[in-house]
Copies of this chain bind each other. A is one copy, B any other.
């Protein structure tokens, strides 16, 4: 005997990203703002002024990737229960990517899922974490290994917070913008080459274009089975670099910048990308003082570390590389020797 269970189509999960001065936000029930001590000290006053809810709470968690774990999630959940938030309550993620990932994950499992809104305060979180619905935490096995897909109800991108952002963090965000342009939009890349993102109007424009590109990708592939993998351009190398460097020494966007340079070299080696195009990407990254070089101990060990990453199944690996600026290509299982060859150039003392 077999009974077929049909489920209703999920609806009502579309949402808007608003770029500009944080508007007044009126929430229907209780709400809790989740933030960290630094962001709270600098900017919480403005947010408290703008958000209205029947009851409003502030939950402050420690700053940094090393606290992005289940213990902090339980801390957040406990505060929500203490103050009797319910299924109609809303969480507000106010901070960078770590705060967004954790608040989104807490929202996804609190009473089996409540609404959350995002007010990202770093450029990286504004362009990257604000679209896609990925939430999660790290554990001793690796990064983002536990989590959920949970879409925010709304995202508010206010560039005012960026005025207090350290310049290295600003640049790390630029790396993700460059990534989107190289993968998907040649015209956008050319615009980036001639525009200064320190100018606020240019910056808003770049954020908007980057977010729109990502939204298009996510729409096609919410759960990362196809084209969404293209967003991992530079990331396959970056994850290994981060693994070797220890979290916190290189910013994620910095590792991605190096990773894109490596991916471009792989593309050249397999006849896809031109040296001239690779140089244009590198010089755009350098303009924002992003690193484009990295010293590794052993090319072989670097290569082996790819397969510890969760994105590789059955010792297969896919590299995302540009075919030309604005066009991507997925390269499945390239010859090991080709990859190791390019990595050897990064071994100590080998790099010219």
Which A residues are closer than 8 A to B by beta carbons?
1-11, 13-20, 29, 70, 74, 77-78, 81, 86-88, 105, 108-113, 131, 133-136, 139, 141, 144-149, 151, 204, 208, 211-212, 215, 218-223, 310, 313
What CA separation (Å) do A199 and B179 show in the bound complex?
Answer: 65
What CA separation (Å) do A7 and B9 show in the bound complex?
Answer: 12
Query: Which residues does chain B contribute within 8 Å of A5, judged by CB atoms?
Result: 14-17, 131, 151, 215, 218-219
Of B18, B86, B141, the contact of A2 (CB 8 Å cutoff): B18
Given contacts A1-B208, A78-B141, 10 further A-B contacts (CB under 8 A): A1-B204, A3-B212, A5-B15, A5-B131, A9-B10, A10-B10, A81-B145, A110-B146, A111-B310, A113-B223
Secondary structure call for the A interface: mixed
Copies of this protein in the assembly total 2
11 contacts between A and B (CB under 8 A): A4-B15, A5-B16, A5-B17, A6-B215, A7-B13, A7-B219, A10-B10, A77-B139, A113-B149, A113-B223, A148-B148
Given contacts A1-B204, A19-B1, A81-B139, contact A6 B110 (CB under 8 A): no
Query: Which residues does chain B contribute within 8 Å of A313, judged by CB atoms?
Result: 29, 86-88
What CA separation (Å) do A234 and B315 show in the bound complex?
Answer: 52
What CA separation (Å) do A110 and B221 show in the bound complex?
Answer: 19
What CA separation (Å) do A105 and B108 show in the bound complex?
Answer: 11
Query: Which residues does chain B contribute within 8 Å of A78, judged by CB atoms?
Result: 139, 141
Considering only CB atoms, which chain B residue lies closest to A19 in the complex? B1
Query: Which residues does chain B contribute within 8 Å of A204, judged by CB atoms?
Result: 1
Query: Which residues does chain B contribute within 8 Å of A218, judged by CB atoms?
Result: 5, 7
What CA separation (Å) do A3 and B157 show in the bound complex?
Answer: 11
What CA separation (Å) do A187 and B247 show in the bound complex?
Answer: 64
What CA separation (Å) do A86 and B70 show in the bound complex?
Answer: 20
Given contacts A112-B134, A149-B112, contact A2 B14 (CB under 8 A): no
What CA separation (Å) do A287 and B63 show in the bound complex?
Answer: 60
A3, A7, A19, A313: residue with the most chain B Cβ atoms closer than 10 Å: A3
What CA separation (Å) do A74 and B151 show in the bound complex?
Answer: 24
Task: Report yes or no: B19 in contact with A2, Cβ–Cβ below 8 A.
Answer: yes
Query: Which residues does chain B contribute within 8 Å of A222, judged by CB atoms?
Result: 7-8, 10
What CA separation (Å) do A11 and B13 show in the bound complex?
Answer: 14
Task: Report yes or no: A14 in contact with B3, Cβ–Cβ below 8 A.
Answer: no
Query: Which residues does chain B contribute within 8 Å of A18, judged by CB atoms?
Result: 1-3
What CA separation (Å) do A219 and B16 show in the bound complex?
Answer: 28
What CA separation (Å) do A135 and B19 show in the bound complex?
Answer: 36
Query: Which residues does chain B contribute within 8 Å of A136, judged by CB atoms?
Result: 109, 112
Query: Which residues does chain B contribute within 8 Å of A14, judged by CB atoms?
Result: 4-7
Considering only CB atoms, which chain B residue lies closest to A130 in the complex? B5
Considering only CB atoms, which chain B residue lies closest to A11 in the complex? B9
CB distance from A332 to the nearest CB of B (A): 16
Query: Which residues does chain B contribute within 8 Å of A134, judged by CB atoms?
Result: 112
Task: Report yes or no: A3 in contact with B109, Cβ–Cβ below 8 A.
Answer: no
What CA separation (Å) do A133 and B58 show in the bound complex?
Answer: 32
Considering only CB atoms, which chain B residue lies closest to A3 in the complex? B17
Query: Which residues does chain B contribute within 8 Å of A131, judged by CB atoms?
Result: 5
CB distance from A65 to the nearest CB of B (A): 18
What CA separation (Å) do A313 and B215 show in the bound complex?
Answer: 35
Of B4, B70, B144, B215, the contact of A70 (CB 8 Å cutoff): B70
